[in-house]
Amino acid sequence: MSWQVNLLTLFPEMFPGTLGQSLSGRALEKAIWSYTALNIRDYAFDKHKTVDDTPFGGGAGMVMRADVIENALLALPNPGRKIYLSPRGQLLNQSLVKELVAEPAITLLCGRYEGVDQRVLDAHGFEEVSIGDYVLSGGEPAAMILMDACIRLLPGVMGNENTADNESFGTATGGLLEYPHYTRPAEWTAKDGKAYAVPEILTSGNHAKVDQWRLDQAKEITKERRPDLLKDKT
Ligand code: SAM
């Protein structure tokens, strides 16, 4: 059965976007995942297809209407877990990605303008999820990022099912950032004349030592760049 993503958006033509290429594109063709993008505007009630209005209490910008969004939501046969992409939401991380990919269906509400009327979020139990501490002009790129992170975890999408666990934030790596990678040529000279060699251990053929080196590197990089990830691992 396909992992189903329902999108509520004012720009359905933005999808599948980047998700139509490469791994996720092939998975879409194979129906490992599928999506339905509803244009919220099609669910407006007036002849002008109005989806937004000025905010009560004043202030800049426009707010997307609760009644129109609800009308679009109710048109979905299987909404599943409902998420509003929003800068004030829970930060997306690998453990939330794993949770979402385990759901049979999710619905992603993509905001525009100042955002959406709070009442539709409350009435339909939308969770809020943010992709980072910055403000985008719309929820569509955020939805694509969330979907990309989920799709690559679906069975049959990546060649090796264990790959994801061996990456940054993976369970096999203890949630650390990943060690550095190297490939051929073993000796490489950059255009400025500086020569770079591959760390010797990686060409030694000693797998136990390679594993230890990679673990040490992962710990060092995590300590330097993201000490917050080590907090629970004293
Ligand atoms: N007024 C909102 C605020 O200050 O929090 C920002 C609205 S933003 C211009 C329009 C839409 O982009 C939001 O409704 C949301 O769907 C999406 N968006 C913006 N930043 C986001 C982020 N960091 N994560 C997820 N969605 C985001």
Write out the H or E segment, with its range, that includes residue 222. Answer: helix 207-225
Residue nearest to atom 27 of ligand 1 (CA): 86
Per-residue pLDDT, 232: 64
Evaluate whether 220 touches 212 at the Cβ level (below 8 Å). no
CA distance 82 to 104: 12
Task: Name the one residue in this structure whose structure tokens are 């710990």.
Answer: 219
What is the mean pLDDT, run by run of 10 residues, along the chain of 234 residues? 97 98 98 98 98 98 98 98 98 98 98 98 98 98 98 93 80 90 98 98 98 97 96 64
Res 52: pLDDT: 98
Q: What is the DSSP string of 86-133?
A: EEEEEEP-HHHHHHHHTSSEEEEEEP-TT-B-HHHHHHTT-EEEESSS
For residue 200, count CB atoms less than 10 angstroms from its CB and return exposed for 0-12, middle for 13-18, buried for 19 or more. Answer: exposed
8 A C-beta contact, residue 44 and residue 51: yes
Long-range contacts of range 168-171, CB-CB < 8 Å, 24 or more positions apart? 169/93, 169/94, 169/229, 170/94
User: Would the CB of 143 count as within 6 Å of ligand 1?
Assistant: no
User: Which atom belonging to ligand 1 lies closest to the Cα atom of 64?
Assistant: 14
pLDDT digits (tens, 9 = 90+) for 78-121: 999 999 999 999 999 999 999 999 999 999 999 999 999 999 99
- Sequence-distant (6+) residues with CB within 8 A of 137 are 112
Question: Ligand 1 centre and the CA of 89: distance in Å?
Answer: 9
Write the residue with the smallest CA distance to atom 17 of ligand 1. Answer: 139
User: Which residue minimizes the CA distance to atom 21 of ligand 1?
Assistant: 87
Full set of structural domains in the chain with CATH:
3-151 (3.40.1280.10), 176-233 (1.10.1270.20)
Strand-strand pairing, 187-189 and 195-197: antiparallel
Task: Give residue-wise pLDDT tens across range 54-81.
Answer: 999 999 999 999 999 999 999 999 999 9
- Which residues pair with residue 82 across a beta bridge? 107
Do residues 15 and 36 touch, judged by C-beta distance below 8 A?
A: no
Residue bearing the CA closest to ligand 1, atom 6: 114
Spacing, Cα 48 to ligand 1 middle (Å): 25
Percentage of the chain lying above the pLDDT 90 cut? 92
Distance CA 171, CA 201 (A): 24
Say yes or no: CB of residue 131 within 6 Å of ligand 1: yes
Q: In this structure, what token pair is assigned to residue 224?
A: 């330097």
135 lines ligand 1 (CB under 6 A): yes
